[in-house]
Structure 1
Amino acid sequence: MKKNCLLVLMTLSFQCVFSQVGINTPNPQGILHIDGQKDNPVSGSTFTPAQQSNDILVNSTGKIGVGTLVPVTKIDARNSGNGAIGFGASSLTASAADEGAVRYNSGVEYSNGNEWLPLLTAQPTNNKVIVIAAKTNNNVKLATPSIPTITAGLQNRASNYLVDWSKTFESNSGTNFNAATGIFTAPRNGIYVASFTTDLAPLAINYTTDPLNPIQIEAIWQLYDNTTGLAVTNIVNTVKCVNTMSSNSVGNIDAGSNCTASFYMTAGQRLMPYIWFNLNNSIVANFSLNNTGGYNNLTIAEQ
C-alpha cells in the first residue's frame, strides 16, 4: 500500500513539474519557454523587452511568441529587437502548399490555392509626385505658351494658357511643377493623372449663333515632348473637355469647365493646361476668372 501511494505521489509530482517546461529558465511563462540568453528573472512575471527579445514561448492556446511573451497571433514575432521573418523557397505547387502559404522565390509569393502570386512588396526608389496648385489671378499667355504673359484678362476665342499658379503642395523634389509657367515636367516614365478646374467670373452670355463656333468653354491639357520647345511641332497629345453653354442669358452666370485625364509620360515630357471659350462676340482680353471662391485648381498625381 505504501509503495502504491508513493508511486501515485511521484506521478502527480512529475506531471506538476512538467506542466510547464522551461529551457534555460526556472520561471517559464507558458507551456514551453526557451530563454536564449538565460537572462530572465528567476521568479515573477515582469520581463524587460531586452529579456523577451531572445525568448521563444508557446502558450496554452497554441500561440507562438518569438521575442515576445504575449503572442496575439498564431506566430507573433513583434518585439523591440529584430522582428523580421525570413521565408525560404519551396518546390511545392500552389495547390499542394494550399491557400495562404507564403514562400520566397526571387521575391515573396503567396498561394491562392491554384497558383503562386507575387506580393508587391517592393517600394519605388523615389516617392510618387503629387502636385496641388490654385490660381487666383487672371494672368495668361494667349495663343501660344511662348509669348509674353498677358495680365489684362482672358480672351474670347483664344487659347488662354494658364500661368502664375500658386503651388500649395508638391511631394518628392518639389521642382517638377513650375508654378510661374504652369508647366509640369515628368521626372521619369510613368502614368500621371492630371486634373484642373476653372470658373469665369459671372458674365452675360450673349452671342449670335454661329454653327462653326458653338457657345462653349473648353478645358484642355496639352502634352509636349521632352525638348525645350513649346511650338505646335512639340505637341505629343492634346486632351479636350468641353462644356456647352446656352446661346444667351438674361443675367450673369458662371461659365466653368474642368478636365481630368491620364497620360503616359516619358521622363522630361511636359504637361500644361489651357482654356478656350466662345461666349460672346468679343475678341478682346477682358474676361476674368472667378478668383474668390477657390474654383480654379490643379492636381497632378503620379500613379
Structure 2
Amino acid sequence: MKKRLAIALMIGGSLLIKAQIGINMSAPEAILHVDGQKNTASAVPSSYYDDVVVTFSGNMGAGTKSPKVRLDLRSGEHVNAIGIGGTSQTASAAKAGAMRYNTGTQDLSYSNGTSWVTLAHKATNDFVDAENFSTQSFTSGTQAAVTNWTKKTDVNGSFNSGTGIFIASKTGVYIVSFTFSLASGTIANDSRYETLIQTNSTSSTTNKVFKCVGSYPGTNSLSNRVAGNCSGIFNLNKGDNITVSLNQALGTAKTLDTDGSLTSLSIFGL
C-alpha cells in the first residue's frame, strides 16, 4: 500500500511540474495561457492579440505569446499603451524606479528613491495670432484693455479672445507684438497715446510692462488715423498672463478701425 501511495505521489508530482494551464483554450502554449475571446489559432497571429501568457522563464506577455522581457506588451495590434495613474506614496515608499502620472501638471515622474523627478518632455510652444474687428471705443485719457479679438491661430488654446487675456501654458520666454489703428478723427494739440503690454508675473526675471509712446506736439489741425505698435519679451512662469491695452489722450473718444487687420496681436513662446 505504501509503495502504491509513493508511486501515486511521484506521478502526481511530475504532472504538477509539467502542467500547463489554459483558460478558454484546450492547448495552452505557456505555463499559463489565457485566451480572452476563445479564438486562438496557431496559424493566425492576430488571434493572440487578446491573449495573456506567462512563460516557463517567468516572462509575461499581453497580446503576444512570446514575451522577451518580464512584461511584454508588444503585439501587432498596436494598441499597447500602458496606463499609469497617480499615487499618494512618497518616492522613498514607492522605491527607486517607480513611476507615476501627475494629473495637475499632466506629466510623468519617476522615483529616484528619495524624491519624485519629472521626466523631461517637450510641450508644444504657445502661438497666438489675432486681429480685432470690434471697433472698440477708448475714452480719452483712460487706459483700457483691448478686448473682443478674432483668433486666427491659437495653438494651445491659451488666449481668451473675449477678455484679451493670454495665459502661458508653460514656463519660458515669450515674444509679444501688438499693433493698432484708430479710425480717422480729430487730434488735439499736444496730444499723445501709449500702448502697453503687461504681465501679472511675480517673477524677478522679467519686466512687468513694455510701454510705447506716440505724440503729436504743438498745435494740430489734423484729422487722420492714429496708428502705433509695441513689442516686448517676457520671461514667464506657467500660469502667468499677458494683456495689451491702449491709453489715448488725443482729445476725444476713439474707436478701433473697422479694418481689423490693422489691429493685431502675436504671441510666441520660445
5 Å-filtered alignment, 1:18-33, equals none
**Other-structure match for 1:187:** 169
Q: 1:240 is paired with a residue of what secondary structure?
A: strand
Matches for 1:83-122 after TM superposition, within 5 Å: none
Structure 1, unpaired ranges of 5+: 1-122, 140-152, 210-214, 227-235
Contact 1:192/1:264 (8 A) holds in 2 = yes
Gaps of 5+ in 2: 1-119
Tell me, yes or no, if structure 1 residue 239 matches structure 2 residue 221: no
Match of 2:249 among 278, 286, 293: 278
Q: TM-score, normalised by structure 1?
A: 0.46
The CA distance in 2 between the partners of 1:247 and 1:291, in whole Å, is 29
1:223 equivalent to 2:199? Answer yes
Between structures 1 and 2, the one with greater strand share: 2
- SS of 1:294's partner is helix
Matched pairs, number: 148
Q: How well do the aligned residues superpose, as a CA RMSD in angstroms?
A: 2.2
Cα distance, 1:124 vs. partner? 5.6
Aligned residue for 2:182, secondary structure, equals: strand
8 Å Cα contact 1:217/1:255 also seen in 2: no
Partner of residue 155 from structure 1, selected from 128, 131, 139: 139
Q: Under a length normalisation based on structure 2, what TM-score does the superposition of the two structures give?
A: 0.51
Instruction: Give how far 1:296 is off.
Output: 0.1
Of the three residues 113, 138, 152, the one matched with 1:168 is 152
124 and 296 in structure 1: CA distance in 2 versus 1, 3 angstrom threshold: farther
Task: Flag as ranges the 4+ runs of structure 1 deviating above 6 A.
Answer: none
Separation of aligned partners in 1, 2:235 and 2:258: 32
Q: Residue deviations 1:193-228, cap 9 Å, x none?
A: 001101111111123x5xxxxx211110110138xx
Given that 1:224 and 1:237 are in contact with CA atoms closer than 8 Å, whether structure 2 keeps it comes out as yes
Q: Distance in 2 between matches of 1:246 and 1:238?
A: 25
- Given that 1:138 and 1:154 are in contact with CA atoms closer than 8 Å, whether structure 2 keeps it comes out as no
Residue 171 of structure 2 contacts residue 237 of structure 2 at CA under 8 Å; is this kept in 1?
yes
Deviation at 1:138, TM superposition (A): 2.9
- Give the match's secondary structure for 1:159: strand
| Sequence identity percentage | 22
Q: Residue 288 of structure 1 corresponds to which residue in structure 2?
A: 255
